[in-house]
């Protein structure tokens, strides 16, 4: 369309200068020339005008054919529908706040998204694979953005300034490092979880600003070895789950979720007042230190967190009490 407008504007201007035509005469001659219809009711007087007409025909014929083909393809192959679908998707992403940005939807990214779905957590996926994007558009299951996660522009489109966390699962450690650097610069309070393939990349990613770095292959290998060394312990831990609607055995309680009457009180006061059958198995201090099986005299102070273990029905009960 832009090329056609340039050709038409050039034709009008050329005829007005060379043939001294009015705007409407020049417009008419240009249109019939560009469209290859031809004309007989108006005569080009000068040799310069005839040369300009021949030049305009040669330029416009290819441009007109290309434009017509492009527009037909855009309409017939449904590209306009993709444009409007992505436009609507971008509008939905703009409304997000407190969400998670997932960079890459490979093997690890898929697992991360499944976990977020299990907890009903809002998220947006950044992906550049055409095949995966076509699947996203067809299934309409995920909010997504098409683009390269290493680009500041695409991170801004994903509302990184309002996001709670970012998970980068790109196959290249260098790309993950770049994403972490960009994300930390754009949002200093963001929780950033990065994948790493090489052990040497872990320290670099943390220096760049990653809150946590995960090595999926290393975790898998360690888990296999543990099943040989302490099989019953690992199998027992495998039965403790933190996902799903009705299978949760382990839950965390933030200080903000604790009723006002029990804030700055001891763990014992919580245990005595809410007899749900759950056991408080862990405590996180203000400084970020973890205490396993904390003392009943431990104070519940701002910034702290409790970890509670119980049966699924007991966890559901405690979640209702604390509004989790």
Tokens of 238: 């495998």
* Residue 7 placed within a domain: yes
* Residue 243 placed within a domain: no
| pLDDT higher than 70, residue 247 | no
* Residue 234 placed within a domain: no
Last residue in a domain, options 171, 203, 220: 220
* Residue 213 placed within a domain: yes
Pairing of strands 305-309, 250-254: antiparallel
| pLDDT higher than 90, residue 123 | yes
CB 190 within 8 A of CB 163: yes
Same domain, 113 and 193: yes
Domain CATH number, residue 264: 3.30.70.1450
Q: 3-class DSSP state for residue 107?
A: helix
Give, in order, the Cα–Cα distances in Å from 182 to each of 113, 153, 157: 22, 10, 13
Q: In the predicted model, what is the mean pLDDT of the chain?
A: 84
Same domain, 50 and 130: no
Domain CATH number, residue 209: 3.40.50.720
Q: In whole angstroms, what is the distance from residue 188 CA to residue 22 CA?
A: 62
Structure confidence at residue 80 (pLDDT): 66
Domain CATH number, residue 50: 1.10.287.70
Percentage of the chain lying above the pLDDT 90 cut: 25
Structure confidence at residue 312 (pLDDT): 79
Confidence band (pLDDT; 50, 70, 90) for 21? confident
Last residue in a domain, options 41, 76, 111: 76
| H or E stretch at 167 | strand 165-168
Helical H segments across the chain, by residue range: 2-18, 23-34, 47-76, 79-94, 107-118, 130-139, 152-157, 173-186, 199-208, 216-229, 231-238, 267-273, 312-322
Domain range spanning residue 26?
Answer: 2-76
| pLDDT higher than 80, residue 28 | yes
What pTM value is reported for the model?
0.64
Q: Which residue has the tokens 């005299």?
A: 297
Checking 240-249 for CB contacts under 8 A at 24+ apart, the result is: 240/309, 243/115, 243/118, 243/119, 244/118, 245/118, 246/312, 246/316, 247/312, 248/312, 248/315, 248/316, 249/309, 249/310, 249/311, 249/312, 249/315
Last residue in a domain, options 220, 239, 272: 220
Same domain, 106 and 71: no
Same domain, 65 and 161: no
* Residue 230 placed within a domain: no
* Residue 105 placed within a domain: yes
Same domain, 120 and 211: yes
| pLDDT higher than 90, residue 257 | no
* Residue 165 placed within a domain: yes
Same domain, 126 and 208: yes
| pLDDT higher than 70, residue 115 | yes
Structure confidence at residue 177 (pLDDT): 95
Give, in order, the Cα–Cα distances in Å from 296 to each of 263, 280, 299, 300: 14, 9, 8, 10
Sign of the Cα torsion 94, 95, 101, 104 reads negative
Same domain, 174 and 258: no
Structure confidence at residue 169 (pLDDT): 93
* Residue 109 placed within a domain: yes
Number of domains in the chain: 3
Q: In whole angstroms, what is the distance from residue 101 CA to residue 186 CA?
A: 13
Confidence band (pLDDT; 50, 70, 90) for 54? confident
């Amino acid at each position: 369309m832009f090329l056609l407008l340039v050709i038409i504007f050039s034709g009008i201007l050329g005829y007005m200068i060379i043939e001294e035509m009015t705007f409407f005469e020049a417009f008419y001659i240009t249109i019939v020339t560009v469209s290859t219809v031809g004309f007989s009711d108006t005569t080009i007087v000068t040799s310069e005008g005839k040369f300009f007409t021949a030049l305009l025909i040669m330029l416009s014929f290819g441009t007109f054919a290309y434009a017509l083909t492009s527009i037909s393809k855009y309409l017939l192959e449904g590209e306009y529908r993709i444009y409007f679908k992505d436009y609507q998707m971008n509008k939905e992403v703009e409304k997000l706040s407190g969400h998670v940005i997932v960079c890459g939807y490979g093997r690890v990214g898929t697992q991360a998204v499944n976990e977020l779905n299990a907890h009903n957590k809002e998220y947006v996926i950044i992906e550049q694979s055409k095949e995966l994007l076509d699947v996203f558009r067809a299934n309409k299951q995920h909010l997504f953005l098409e683009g390269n996660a290493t680009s500041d522009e695409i991170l801004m489109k994903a509302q990184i300034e309002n996001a709670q966390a970012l998970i980068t699962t790109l196959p290249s450690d260098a790309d993950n490092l770049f994403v972490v650097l960009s994300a930390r610069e754009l949002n200093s309070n963001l929780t950033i979880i990065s994948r790493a393939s090489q052990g040497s990349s872990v320290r670099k990613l943390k220096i760049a600003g990653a809150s946590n770095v995960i090595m999926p292959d290393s975790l898998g290998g360690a888990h296999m070895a543990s099943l040989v060394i302490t099989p019953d312990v690992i199998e027992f831990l495998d039965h403790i789950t933190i996902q799903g609607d009705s299978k949760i055995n382990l839950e965390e309680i933030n200080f903000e979720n604790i009723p006002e009457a029990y804030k700055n009180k001891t763990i014992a006061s919580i245990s005595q007042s809410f007899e749900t059958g759950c056991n408080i198995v862990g405590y996180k201090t203000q400084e970020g230190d973890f205490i396993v099986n904390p003392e009943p005299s431990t104070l519940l102070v701002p910034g702290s967190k409790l970890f509670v273990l119980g049966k699924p029905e007991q966890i559901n009960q405690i979640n209702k009490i604390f509004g989790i």
